[in-house]
Structure 1
């Protein structure tokens, strides 16, 4: 026997509940957007130009990436950083074990759970974003430029693989382009993080190159600019530019052109670095480009990256 309870409209309003749910969801997306805007501004600008159906899930993925990427910047204590990364690793485990009741009450994890379920995102990509940061936390430095490339592949390229999954693109050429673009952007991120790394008394430039040009870690931490230092930066920037050019030469499905828009910011930084004669310590390199939003919008109109 089924008992039907009589609900008073004073206490029960289906429309109000639906509006509340929509409002809550919108609030979580806005939270994710705020995280990306604050900590990953250039990618935020590019994400705003995505098609409406791609924009929200892309912001969620980038918010998750921003949260784990900034763990090392939040503390100088490696144990604290490891614990914070473990929180995100555990959250990923809960999400893919489909245990919704135990998902942390965090807007990013809540929205990531929805995106992973809706778009069937591969677990290995999400876990790779966390494990690669944990690996760098233990290693503390890059031995070679190849190590930097591997790190860029596991972090930045992986983001593009996830965006391709969201867009429903299963194309080997798109994956190949995403790999090269991610490596280019990841290497540029290392160059741009020299100032931040110096603040934390760590050297992010590959040790083999520093040894090749007889540059000490202390010289890097002091921000010493000389010909040998510029040779190191030139080699690193050249590798990034090579990956960027390879990515742009690959013919990809049309929808990929909007996903790969961050290439514009990478190109701008490398050109600016070249104009500064590869002095990575030049303070103007830390300033954003006021023309970047317009450049991104123009390339989006052309549907090119």
Structure 2
């Protein structure tokens, strides 16, 4: 699909750190792919703010650094010297990315700095702002109309839900859980319990419930994104992977403590077929 030897530095960052979205970006018009790779790299920097920091305060400082970098792009200040921040400033000044959407993606990440996510509504707001915000930013870049953005946001949130649930084993290794505290409390569990032992039946029940929420987001997004221009299809294609993941996660046979299966031929075919027939 793409020759690694021919990839730009941004494309290589995207491929290495977010291969799912990288694959989907290959279905964008060639002239727009580099800005999608930039968006993927920016999103990865936000995602790793909490992972790379030793404490919440340091992670918030990392997010503020990116908030300032986006704000400075609207001024005459020299771009920050950074493999992502420098081209990001150029893309913002050229109007290829929307600053307000990027700031929303940054703001949404702040919930990750808390000890836990308190409720299902808080989780859904986080997903709509982070992964959903990414899909909106990608859609704007690719020429999606205002009437399609809410649908793209829902599709992006569904992809984010699937990624969060796939990541439960990795979260447990870090001693944390992003499952909503209110849903866990209904099963007499806390986020600490879920992080310590994701094999508990109550945790699996919450995962299945959230997978169902993800499937509802998919249905909402597909209904509201009907008529999406073909040029903007890459913004919706991650939903093809989300649909496969959420179906597995909603199954009673799914064990949330087990690492997710690696991406395989079926996943790639699902994305390629969606790209060929024009359906996210």
In the alignment, is residue 260 of structure 1 matched against residue 228 of structure 2?
Answer: no
Contact in 2 for aligned 1:132/1:151 (Cα 8 Å): yes
Aligned pairs (5 A) from 1:12-27: none
How far apart, in 2, do the equivalents of 1:201 and 1:177 lie?
A: 34
- Give the corresponding residue for 1:176: 150
In the alignment, is residue 279 of structure 1 matched against residue 255 of structure 2?
Answer: yes
| Greater radius of gyration (CA) | 1
Contact in 2 for aligned 1:89/1:130 (Cα 8 Å): yes
Contact in 2 for aligned 1:230/1:277 (Cα 8 Å): no
How far does the alpha carbon of each residue in 1:86-135 deviate from its partner, in whole angstroms, 9 at most, with x for none?
A: 22122112112242x2x111121121122212235332211122222234
In the alignment, is residue 61 of structure 1 matched against residue 39 of structure 2?
Answer: yes
SS of the counterpart of 2:8?
Answer: helix
The runs of at least 4 aligned residues of structure 1 exceeding 6 Å deviation read: none
- Corresponding pairs, count: 273
How far apart, in 2, do the equivalents of 1:267 and 1:114 lie?
A: 35
Which of residues 79, 85, 98 in structure 1 aligns to 2:57? 79
Contact in 2 for aligned 1:258/1:304 (Cα 8 Å): no
TM (normalized to structure 2)?
0.89
- Give the corresponding residue for 1:15: none
Seen in structure 2, the aligned counterparts of structure 1 residues 146 and 225 have a Cα distance that, compared at 3 Å, is: same
Contact in 1 for aligned 2:161/2:214 (Cα 8 Å): yes
Contact in 2 for aligned 1:244/1:263 (Cα 8 Å): yes
How far does the alpha carbon of each residue in 1:134-181 deviate from its partner, in whole angstroms, 9 at most, with x for none?
A: 3431x2321111111100111111112212221233231x11211211
- With 190-199 and 103-112 compared, the bigger mean Cα shift is at 190-199
Task: Give, in angstroms, the shift of residue 281 of structure 1.
Answer: 1.5
Pairwise CA RMSD of aligned residues? 2.1
How far apart, in 2, do the equivalents of 1:298 and 1:118 lie?
A: 33
Which of residues 240, 263, 286 in structure 1 aligns to 2:214? 240
- Give the corresponding residue for 1:36: 14
In the alignment, is residue 133 of structure 1 matched against residue 133 of structure 2?
Answer: no
Which of residues 197, 205, 208 in structure 2 aligns to 1:231? 205
How far does the alpha carbon of each residue in 1:227-267 deviate from its partner, in whole angstroms, 9 at most, with x for none?
A: 32222111111000011022123312332333201111101
Task: Give, in angstroms, the shift of residue 286 of structure 1.
Answer: 4.7
How far apart, in 2, do the equivalents of 1:253 and 1:184 lie?
A: 17
How far apart, in 1, do the equivalents of 2:159 and 2:195 lie?
A: 23
- Give the corresponding residue for 1:123: 99
Seen in structure 2, the aligned counterparts of structure 1 residues 113 and 55 have a Cα distance that, compared at 3 Å, is: same
Gaps of 5+ in 1: 1-28
SS of the counterpart of 1:59?
Answer: helix
